[in-house]
Amino acid sequence: MIRLSPTQPGAEQRVTASDLVRHFGVWQERATRAPIYILHRGRPRLVLTSLDVMDALCTPHFAAASGDTMRDTLLDVVETIMLVTDRDLVITGASRGARRYFGAAASAGQPIAGCAAPGDTTLPATVRRVLASGETETIECRSPRVAERRLACTVIATPEGCVVKIADTTATEESQRWRERHEALSAALAATRSAAVSLNLRGRIEEPTPALAALTGATLDALAAARLVSLIAVFDRTRVGDALEAVIEQGAAMSLSASLLVGGAEISPAAIGLAPLTAGGRITGVFAVIVPHDGGA
């Protein structure tokens, strides 16, 4: 049986039970994008996942379905880039993430070599070795989309052929650089008594920062998964809520003035900038910057 779950989920996919309870809203939102592994004594023990994946695993028709049907249905809800090949190095299945990344090259019946840059034989050669040895291997090859990008490919032998799990290592490095820039931006904003925060599509705060806690007088635990409008004076909440909806619906940035609640009671005038957060061409949330009108170094 093909194992579709990652053997070593990334840090963004792992959470302790205590953190899950404290920040359930944040992890619930992440679980809609990828399975979340709940740790017990440092090791994954339980999984929080989306209804799509559970339906694929548990619907009654699976009892009579063939192994290929079950596999294809599961692959259809997996965002990880994953390919399944037969012993002739021909693709027999591809995850949703693989089809999005490789396009027609990931279609059933296509050679696995088409998922690497022209002339780069590293991937098919590795699949042949794994088929012969049965030992899992991880290699790097050039992306067929942009030659400068690198793909890390983990090839795992199965009775029918191989499973190839792929990650864009260049994208991982870029993400790290952007994360560092984001941290620098957050520090610069904090120096001016301003704050930046990401919101999900429900307007709830994801990963609140110390700068936001200092600005609002609320604790990080209280801010986790709180709605942005709950930090706004009652008479301005409708306007801020409408602005959030407009940014999500129109996909355009906007700004407005509103009164911020400090310590749950004191009112402080502020400017709020809102911009859509996107992933894969779709809006996944909103990025907000809050600048108090009396802010300054």
- Look up the pTM and report it: 0.50
Residue 57: pLDDT band (50, 70, 90) is low
Q: Which domains, from first to last, does the chain contain?
A: 1-75 (3.40.1620.10), 80-187 (3.30.450.20), 192-292 (3.30.450.20)
Encode pLDDT of 185-220 as tens digits.
888 888 888 999 999 999 999 888 889 999 999 999
pLDDT above 80 (res 1): no
Encode pLDDT of 249-270 as tens digits.
999 999 999 999 888 788 999 9
Range with lowest mean pLDDT among 27-36, 115-124, 126-135, 156-165: 27-36
The per-residue DSSP string of 53-83 comes to HHHHHH-GGGGTS-HHHHHHHHHTT--SEEE
Average pLDDT, stretch 235-244? Answer: 95
Q: Specify the pLDDT at position 64.
A: 44
